[in-house]
A = this chain, B = another copy of it.
């Protein structure tokens, strides 16, 4: 019954051409964030961006580095984490194409509070914070969109805080898996595959627990037929059942 098949996660690495300057404008124009902008403006904005390719595992920046750039994920997955003095880390988010990270503002803190590391190889677009601020200045619509995005992130962070304080581990892991499934899920024969290499450590850091406990909970979910998992991958086989786990027991 225990399936230990080869990881079904799409491990195709980002090809160099995915990160080429040719595709940059196309990528930017597809972003919901920039939608509705005249082509001309988009053209100008495009010129301020540079593209960077990274290998999986690389750090884009680390907590404490001077915060001077804003990044957009063009392709690949990026994990945002925060370090605690005691060595225990928290995985704040796993970002996918179209999402922002880095410094949205030059006001306030002068250094990054979090660390950005590539979960897969990826292609990033990057812009200096000041340039981005000028863009926001010139296009108030974008500023409102940015505010909406940030409001959402504040809610997300508060939601997680609430969960960690008030819910037992199993429920937190259920919530975490559902969120991952919703965001990064890909339909498969065996269910909703979380389409990113995800270790037990990663899951633990997202749910605010230890890898051992994450493993135990996952084993239990697996033997109940709610999820299917293996080395570095997890698939949700029964979303409804998993949703139930967020409530009781």
Chain A residues engaging chain B, CB cutoff 8 angstroms: 82, 84-86, 88, 90, 92, 104-105, 107-109, 113-114, 133, 136-138, 140-141, 143-148, 150-155, 157-167, 208, 247
| Inter-chain contact A148/B113, CB cutoff 8 Å | no
Partner of A151, one of B88, B108, B136, B161: B108
| Inter-chain contact B208/A151, CB cutoff 8 Å | no
| Inter-chain contact B157/A108, CB cutoff 8 Å | no
Given contacts A143-B140, A157-B157, A158-B114, A165 and B104 within 8 Å (CB-CB): no
Partner of A166, one of B84, B141, B165: B84
Q: What are 12 A-B contacts defined by CB distance under 8 Å?
A: A86-B166, A104-B151, A107-B144, A107-B148, A136-B140, A137-B140, A140-B143, A153-B154, A154-B154, A157-B157, A164-B165, A164-B208
Partner of A147, one of B109, B150, B158, B162: B150
Chain B residue nearest to A149 (CB atoms) is B108
Given contacts A113-B155, A155-B113, A105 and B148 within 8 Å (CB-CB): yes
| Inter-chain contact B151/A143, CB cutoff 8 Å | no
Given contacts A84-B162, A164-B164, A104 and B157 within 8 Å (CB-CB): no
A84, A144, A145: residue with the most chain B Cβ atoms closer than 10 Å: A144
| Inter-chain contact B161/A84, CB cutoff 8 Å | no
* Neighbouring B residues of A158 by C-beta, 8 Å: 82, 90, 92, 113-114, 157
Chain B residue nearest to A148 (CB atoms) is B107
* Neighbouring B residues of A164 by C-beta, 8 Å: 161, 164-165, 208
